Amino acid sequence: MWRYLVPLGIFVVLVVFLGIGLKLDPREVPSPLIGKAAPAFTLPKLQQPEQTVSPADYKGRVWLLNVWASWCVSCRAEHPVLNQLARSSEVPIIGLNYKDGREVAQQWLRQLGDPYTASAFDEDGRVGIDWGVYGVPETFVIDKRGNIRYKHTGPVDQKAVMEKIMPLVHALEKEPA
Amino acid sequence: MRKFILFLVLLWSTSALAGVEVHKFDNPEQEQQYNRLVAELRCLVCQNQNLADSNAELAQDLRQEVYEMIQNGATDQEIVSFMVARYGDFVLYRPPFKSTTAFLWIGPFIILAVGFVILLMFIRKRRQSAAVELDETEQARAQQLLNDNNETDTP
First-to-last CA distance in chain B?
A: 82
Question: In the predicted model, is pLDDT for residue A162 greater than 50?
Answer: yes
Looking at the fold, whether B25 and B49 belong to one and the same domain comes out as yes
Closest in A30, A32, A129 to B61, CB measured: A129
Cα nearest neighbour of A130 on chain B:
B86
pLDDT in tens, B37-67: 999 898 888 878 888 888 888 899 999 999 9
pLDDT in tens, A18-48: 999 888 877 777 888 999 999 999 999 999 9
Does B61 fall in a domain? yes
pLDDT in tens, B9-35: 666 555 444 455 778 888 888 899 999
Shortest Cα distance, chain B CAs vs residue A63, angstroms: 20
Distance CA B102, CA B107 (A): 8
Q: Sort out which chain A residues have CB atoms less than 8 A from B89's CB and list them.
A: 32
Beta strand pairing call for A138-142 and A93-98: unpaired
Does B4 fall in a domain? no
Mean pLDDT of A84-113: 93
Mark which of B91, B114, B136 sits at the end of a domain.
B91
Distance CA B83, CA B95 (A): 12
Interface test with A, best of B42, B54, B58, B82 (most A CBs within 10 A): B58
Give me the percent of chain A exceeding a pLDDT of 70. 100
Interface test with A, best of B45, B81, B84, B86 (most A CBs within 10 A): B86
Whether residue B61 and residue A125 make contact (CB cut-off 8 A), yes or no, is yes
The residues, ordered by sequence, that sit 6+ positions from A141 with a Cβ below 8 Å of its Cβ are A62, A64, A148, A149, A150, A151, A165, A168, A169, A172
Mean pLDDT of A105-130: 93
Kindly provide the ipTM of the predicted complex, given to two decimals.
0.79
Does B14 fall in a domain? no
The overall average pLDDT reported for chain A is: 91
Shortest Cα distance, chain A CAs vs residue B1, angstroms: 39
Phi, psi (deg, nearest 5) at residue A148: -75, 125
Question: In the predicted model, is pLDDT for residue B155 greater than 90?
Answer: no
Distance CA A142, CA A173 (A): 11
Q: Sort out which chain A residues have CB atoms less than 8 A from B58's CB and list them.
A: 125, 133-134
Read off the pLDDT band of B102 (50, 70, 90): confident
Cβ A135 vs Cβ A112: under 8 Å: no
Does B96 fall in a domain? no
Closest in B45, B65, B90 to A129, CB measured: B65
Beta bridge partners of A98: A122
Looking at the fold, whether B87 and B48 belong to one and the same domain comes out as yes
Whether residue B44 and residue A135 make contact (CB cut-off 8 A), yes or no, is yes
Looking at the fold, whether B41 and B81 belong to one and the same domain comes out as yes
Look at residue B89 in the predicted model and tell me its pLDDT: 87
Does B69 fall in a domain? yes
Whether residue A132 and residue B87 make contact (CB cut-off 8 A), yes or no, is yes
Q: Where are the beta strands (DSSP E) in A43-167?
A: 43-44, 52-53, 63-68, 93-98, 118-122, 138-142, 148-153
Look at residue B103 in the predicted model and tell me its pLDDT: 86
Cβ A65 vs Cβ A142: under 8 Å: yes
Give me the CATH number covering residue B36: 1.10.8.640
The residues, ordered by sequence, that sit 6+ positions from B79 with a Cβ below 8 Å of its Cβ are B37, B66, B69, B70
Whether residue B90 and residue A26 make contact (CB cut-off 8 A), yes or no, is no
Distance CA B138, CA B154 (A): 25
Cβ A66 vs Cβ A94: under 8 Å: yes
pLDDT in tens, A42-71: 999 999 999 999 999 999 999 999 999 999
Residue type, B140: A
State whether CATH 3.40.30.10 applies to domain A29-173: yes
Does B7 fall in a domain? no
More confident residue, A17 or A24: A17
HSE-CB at B28 with a 13 A cutoff on CA atoms is 0
| Number of domains forming the structure of chain B | 2
Question: In the predicted model, is pLDDT for residue B7 greater than 80?
Answer: no
Mark which of B41, B63, B91 sits at the end of a domain.
B91
Whether this model's pTM surpasses 0.80: no
Q: Which residues of A touch B (CB under 8 A)?
A: 26-27, 29-33, 99, 124-125, 129-135
| CB-count exposure of residue B59 (10 Å: 0-12, 13-18, 19+) | buried
Mark which of B70, B91, B112 sits at the end of a domain.
B91
- Domain containing B77 equals 19-91
Whether residue A30 and residue B90 make contact (CB cut-off 8 A), yes or no, is yes
pLDDT in tens, B114-131: 999 999 999 998 888 776
CA A5-A10-A15 angle, 5° bins: 125
Looking at the fold, whether B111 and B134 belong to one and the same domain comes out as yes
The overall average pLDDT reported for chain B is: 83
First-to-last CA distance in chain A?
A: 65
- The per-residue b/e assignment along A26-58, b for 16 or more CB within 10 angstroms, e otherwise, is eeebebbbeeeebeebebbbbbeeeeebebeeb
pLDDT in tens, B137-153: 888 888 888 888 766 55
Looking at the fold, whether B111 and B149 belong to one and the same domain comes out as yes
Whether residue B61 and residue A131 make contact (CB cut-off 8 A), yes or no, is no
Q: Which residues of B touch A (CB under 8 A)?
A: 44-45, 47, 57-58, 61-62, 65, 84-90
Closest in B86, B88, B90 to A130, CB measured: B86
Looking at the fold, whether B27 and B84 belong to one and the same domain comes out as yes
Look at residue B8 in the predicted model and tell me its pLDDT: 65
